[in-house]
Amino acid sequence: MRDHSSVIPLLKTIGPFNEVADDYNYQSAWDRLSTSKILVIGAGGLGCEILKNLALTGFKNIHVIDMDTIDLSNLNRQFLFRHKDIGKSKSEIAANFIKQRIGEDNINIIPFFGKIQDKSIEFYSQFDLVISGLDSIEARRWINATLVNLSSSNNKIIPLIDGGTEGFRGQSRVIIPSFTSCFECTLDLMSQKITYPVCTIANTPRLPEHCIEWAHLIQWNIEFGSTKKFDADIPQHIQWMYETALNRAKIFKIEGVTKQLTLGVCKNIIPAIASTNSIIAASCCNEAFKLLTDSNPYLNNYMSYSGDYSIYTYTFENNKRSNCSVCGSLPKKIYVESYKTLQQFIEDIKDKQEIQIKNPSISSISGPLYMSSPTELQKITKNNLSKKLNKLISNGDEIVITDVNLPISLRLIVYFTSDEKDPELN
Amino acid sequence: MLKIRQLQKKRQEEEEEAAKSQSPTPTRDSTPVNKNSKVSAAQLRIQKDITELDLPPSIKLTFPQPSSLFEFDLKLIPNSGYYKNGKFQFKCEINSNFPIEPPKIKCLNKIYHPNIDLQGNICLNILREDWSPVLSLNSIFIGLNFLFLEPNPNDPLNKEAANCLVKDKKQFEKNVNNSMKGGYIDGVYYDRVI
Ligand SMILES: [Zn+2]
């Protein structure tokens, strides 16, 4: 048995700090440590810290998902891994380590070695909370969109706590899908990949990075054409990149091209330091504790931490963007008679007062169904107008409607009713 | 998560109110959501950008794979300037990280232009270092159009062409004309685009 009595005073204090003091109950707050199901996405630098913190706080149901395997360069900060684990799944090794440390009877921790996109909506809907410690913006956008969609299609609100670090900087944020601003709302806050003008790379290189980018962007295609795609995970490719960049650096008398830097530039490796990961992961986990137990008000909704120049933190409320493509308009269910053609469907939605569309363009996950502009796309897609909608998409598919008059894109989830025949034709 | 449950309850009540005031629709609750039936955030954004395109007549887009908006071709026929009436082909590739990452645009013809190299790489600031997610596809195409109206010798990718433009505008004009007909300039063959 483990003793978590150290957190009891935090839960027993009932007062102005409880989010909803009237409904707050110590016992149910305490029970939630054992009953809450938490999903941790990423078992890397942040993930190791997050798993450790959650387990030591007393949470007992944790799933962890990561597609990566352990690399030598991870061991300096990803402390759940040892040298013998190199090449193995991060999530599996991390889960095993935590299980051994906490005791198999005291925690239920389930790893998944794979991509987050491989799991179904049903998988995600079982959790009370998701914490992500990822550096991939693409994956963070995906989980954000998935949870925002769940909030509208299943009316299941699963808070997302998102942590991110880059060198001495980091941020943690709490996203309550469809209530607060989401990850997509603030895409422009994400630090951009450092890029250099092509003409500088081509003509006036001054930095070792310029030489590497020259090899990467320009010389590779000249040497191998577009047939052989560069892959930063293939050692021979990196070796070629390094040697080509080094030769160029010699010509321009530039110092500093190393194999490590070549790998860093080609893979866009973000600098990472163990202590920033600890700070950000710790703040994410405290917010998880407060959210799940209702003991104290949680972060509203963005904390930015910067240690580049002295130290500075700033907390602010990020506003929802009304034209956000993910949370600006939540998908609505629509029932469509099975006999309706795409054209009839378009006429129907044009008639709807609340939508205000004149010239809609429509697409589904498999591509455009009808695009009213540009002309080229209109010509290609107009043949679809006479087809039945249920031949173009499946029951439950999402469609997206855009219109120049519409500031947002409108999303509908289409369900077909069994009316096979058009009553007007009878 | 008492507060979240309160928020949720409030919204549910609002929705029920709204549903009551509307015409009755068949209630089929907890209809399952299809796996992988969701349009990605990148696709949403591309569709929005494409719907809102407002391009000069000199630019035409073509979609060789109509099932995808992520890859398409662009044809530029400048109506004035050095490159007037040339037909320039470009390939535009957008990845699933759009609009964090800008689209990749390459010129498919080998052309004599100060800001385009012989492999079709283009030096246009908003395609790389000055790209930002708040910019749209339209701004990129307008930028590309501008590059053919006003080639910029200060950001050279084809140094010979850039030098010529700085030193001798008449000669540059001649070179452009000859290159567009398909011919050699400074020992390099350029594609016929006219
Ligand atoms: Zn949003």
Q: Write the DSSP string, A208-270.
A: HHHHHHIIIIIIHHHHHTTTS---TTSHHHHHHHHHHHHHHHHHTT-----HHHHHHHHHTPP
What's residue A386's pLDDT? 95
Sequence-ordered strand ranges (E) for A144-232: 160-166, 169-175
The reply to whether residue B67 touches residue A333, judged by beta carbons under 8 angstroms, is no
Least confident of B86-95, B131-140, B170-179: B131-140
- % of chain A beyond a pLDDT of 90: 62
Average pLDDT, integer, range A10-30: 82
Average pLDDT, integer, range A86-109: 96
CA-CA distance, B106 to B86, in Å (whole number)? 16
Would you give the distance in Å from CA A236 to the centre of its chain?
A: 31
Average pLDDT, integer, range A215-227: 87
Backbone angles phi, psi at A283, to 5 degrees: -65, -40
Tokens representing A156 are 């299941």
CA-CA distance, A293 to A18, in Å (whole number)? 9
Contact, A290 vs B5, CB < 8 A? no
Average pLDDT, integer, range A124-142: 93
Q: Point out the residue among B28, B48, B69 whose CB comes nearest to the CB of A368.
A: B69
Q: Point out the residue among B52, B99, B115 whose CB comes nearest to the CB of A187.
A: B99
User: In chain A, what residues touch B48 (CB-CB under 8 Å)?
Assistant: 325, 402, 409
Find the A321 Cα to ligand 1 centroid distance in Å: 6
User: In chain B, what residues touch A289 (CB-CB under 8 Å)?
Assistant: none
User: In chain A, what residues touch B101 (CB-CB under 8 Å)?
Assistant: 193
Amino acid at A222: I
This prediction's pTM: 0.78
The reply to whether residue B4 touches residue A179, judged by beta carbons under 8 angstroms, is yes
CA-CA distance, A415 to A159, in Å (whole number)? 28
Average pLDDT, chain A: 90
Return the residue in B69, B110, B128, B130 with the most chain A beta carbons within 10 A, the one to mutate for interface testing: B128
What's residue A55's pLDDT? 97
- Counted domains in chain B: 1
Rounded CA Rg of chain A: 26
Contact, A414 vs A336, CB < 8 A? yes
B25: left (phi over 0), alpha (psi -120 to 50) or beta: beta
Tell me the three-class secondary structure of A231-242, residue by residue.
CCCCHHHHHHHH
Its sign, for the CA torsion A418, A422, A423, A426, is negative
B26-29 long-range contacts (CB < 8 A, ≥24 apart) are B26/A335, B26/A417, B28/A335, B28/A415
pLDDT-derived band at A341, boundaries 50, 70, 90: very high
pLDDT of A323 > 50? The answer is yes
Does residue B26 lie in a domain region?
no
pLDDT of B190 > 90? The answer is yes
What's residue B4's pLDDT? 82
Least confident of A45-49, A284-288, A319-323, B71-75: A319-323
A294: left (phi over 0), alpha (psi -120 to 50) or beta: left
What's residue B9's pLDDT? 82
pLDDT-derived band at B3, boundaries 50, 70, 90: confident
Average pLDDT, integer, range B56-79: 93
Tokens representing A167 are 């060198």
Least confident of A312-321, A399-408, B141-150: A399-408
pLDDT of A231 > 60? The answer is yes
Contact, A178 vs A219, CB < 8 A? no
Does residue B48 lie in a domain region?
yes
Does residue B20 lie in a domain region?
no
**Which helix (H) or strand (E) covers residue A89, if one does?**
none
pLDDT of B23 > 70? The answer is no
Average pLDDT, integer, range A187-204: 81
User: In chain B, what residues touch A142 (CB-CB under 8 Å)?
Assistant: 40-41
Return the residue in A198, A204, A361 with the most chain B beta carbons within 10 A, the one to mutate for interface testing: A198
Q: Which of A368, A366, A371, A364 is nearest to A412 (CA)?
A: A364
User: In chain B, what residues touch A415 (CB-CB under 8 Å)?
Assistant: 28, 31
The reply to whether residue B134 touches residue A159, judged by beta carbons under 8 angstroms, is no
Would you give the distance in Å from CA A279 to the centre of its chain?
A: 20
Per the DSSP assignment, residues forming a β-bridge with B62 are B73
A124: closest CA of chain B, how far (Å):
11
Please tell me whether the interface predicted TM-score (ipTM) of this complex is above 0.95: no
What's residue A354's pLDDT? 66
B144: closest CA of chain A, how far (Å):
15
Does residue B45 lie in a domain region?
yes
Return the residue in B47, B124, B137 with the most chain A beta carbons within 10 A, the one to mutate for interface testing: B47
Average pLDDT, integer, range B127-149: 92
pLDDT-derived band at A1, boundaries 50, 70, 90: low
- B155-166 pLDDT, tens per residue? 899 999 999 999
CA-CA distance, A167 to A194, in Å (whole number)? 14
Structural domain boundaries, residue B79: 39-189
- % of chain A beyond a pLDDT of 70: 97
Closest chain A residue to B126, measured at CA = A197
User: In chain B, what residues touch A157 (CB-CB under 8 Å)?
Assistant: 1, 4, 7-8
To the query of whether residue A285 is one of the catalytic residues in this protein, the response is no
What's residue A179's pLDDT? 92
The reply to whether residue B33 touches residue A394, judged by beta carbons under 8 angstroms, is no
- A367-385 pLDDT, tens per residue? 999 999 888 899 999 999 9
CATH number of the domain enclosing B119: 3.10.110.10
Tokens representing B127 are 């395609």
Tokens representing A206 are 């001054």
Contact, A337 vs A351, CB < 8 A? no
pLDDT of B26 > 50? The answer is no
Chains A & B: contacts with CB separation below 8 Å: 184
The reply to whether residue A400 touches residue B156, judged by beta carbons under 8 angstroms, is no
Maximum mean pLDDT: which of A50-64, A343-357, B146-160: A50-64
Find the A322 Cα to ligand 1 centroid distance in Å: 8
Contact, B78 vs B54, CB < 8 A? no
Q: Hey, what's the torsion of the CAs at B101, B102, B106, B112, to 10 degrees?
A: -130
Selected residue with higher pLDDT from A2 and B20: A2
pLDDT of B28 > 50? The answer is no
Does residue B21 lie in a domain region?
no
Query: What 3-state DSSP class applies to B69?
Result: coil
Contact, A285 vs A279, CB < 8 A? no
Which burial class, exposed, middle or buried, applies to A125 when counting CB atoms under 10 A from its CB (0-12, 13-18, 19+)? middle
The reply to whether residue B62 touches residue A376, judged by beta carbons under 8 angstroms, is yes
pLDDT-derived band at A424, boundaries 50, 70, 90: low
Does residue B5 lie in a domain region?
no
Place of tokens 């080639």: B151
Average pLDDT, integer, range B67-79: 94
The reply to whether residue A179 touches residue B7, judged by beta carbons under 8 angstroms, is yes
- Active-site residue, from A48, A182, A185, A199: A199
Query: What 3-state DSSP class applies to B77?
Result: coil
